[in-house]
Structure 1
Amino acid sequence: MTGLLIPDEGKVRVLGFDVSKDWKKLSKYIGVALANERTLYWKLTGLENLEIFAGLYGVKKGKRKALEILEKLNLVHVKDKLVEEYSSGMRRKLLLAKATIHNPKILFLDEILNGLDPKSYLKIIEFLEELNQNGITIVLISHALHDLPPKARLIVMKDGRIVLDDKLSKFKLDESIKIKATINGKEVERIVSREELNETLMELTESGAENVQIERDDLYSILRRILDG
């Protein structure tokens, strides 16, 4: 979808462009950030990096734009520090700043949230929400799914096929409860709403349930059930 790899078969179109044929044209309208990429200039400062990429994209008033993004990502205090001295979280945010310097229409992010400290994680989520509210489509590939906005669309793939495509809000995670127990030596698991909790516990007790555990159901558990099913 970003033009970095040529499809083995079939076609990919993004914003009306054939990715294989029109990659150069498409590149003006998309931003890409990969968690492990090494496209930053480590011997330059964060601000100098963004000024270079702003120039490559023909961004007017590139320095001002760079400073605005650095401010939003809490990096302005290290704008004059060499990138090689940045923490991994700082470099991750700088990659995101680089990918958005030219105001893309679509932002592709691959595992950009992995391995971040909680503060950096939430700051990036906040930044992405603001971009989305301003009309930028965000395609995020990630194993970290907590604290994403409820309106986010979740697409799960297994063996090259889409097995789930829905809004996060549909899962109603705050209302789901997981009950684990052992009945006659066999482990059982029930997913219930808060309203069903007492009745289900009574049924399990009458069935001779032991080692009853009550947990809040989470998105990761739901996805595991879908992928294992």
Structure 2
Amino acid sequence: MIKLLRFPHKPKSAFSPIFCPDQHEEPTGLFMNEYMAKILHMILFGESSLDNATLKATSGTLGHPWNVREINSACIAFAAIMVQVLFANDSQWTEIGRQSEINYLQNFWEFRKIINTQISCDSNWAQSLRGFYNERVFSRITTSSGLSISAAGPTTSSTSAPPSQPPSQSAASSSTVGTTPQSFSSAASSSSTTIIHRDDSVEVTTDPGTPSSTPPPTPTVVDLDVPAHPLSSDGTEVGTTVPLRPRKEVQ
């Protein structure tokens, strides 16, 4: 079991060999494991949906009342964690495995961030990943009227050619191409679609490469009448005897 959870040369990596088809360390196939798709299929449409050639979505399944038509990054990250839990030797599912010492919570957020980063870049890997899950989770599910649920959302054939751009390659830079799943972490942390500029008073969000259509605000100039000389403590101008404010007599 440990061989399915940890790469021999990367025992501390958050990624597991079971995430990849045939357990080969290949970035283009990361998270595209049939077991992960079946876990989501079973959660949404019940255990019996794995055996039926065609299953109608009924009120007794989670996928029906929530009208789930597409898999998102959180679902895929959750399926990855479920696979790790099933193959680990932990007696309880806790934030950090007591025996395996796998940080399940941290891994979930890391996996989700990686997927969201690639979706925002609209990379070939992200398109293939979403198509992989949408086809396998919804392809055999129909509504009570016989309409295929997969027809309502985008699907991509699982027999399509492998993506030419690995998920570790950011749309902003081609220098982040990696050869192992570990490279996903650096790509996710280095990619950014928004730049935030901060100062002490104003927070401005700009999209790089997109000129702003709103002109900068015109500063407001306020004229203030101030005395020509500073005031002394009794309210008179220094060098004069005319008070600018009434003095308070102390009783």
TM over 0.5: no
TM-score range, shorter chain: under 0.3
**Could you say which structure has the greater relative contact order, defined with CA pairs below 8 angstroms and 6 or more residues apart?**
2
So what's the TM-score if we normalise by structure 2? 0.23
Counting strand residues as a fraction of each chain, which structure ranks higher? Answer: 1
| TM-score (ref. length: structure 1) | 0.25
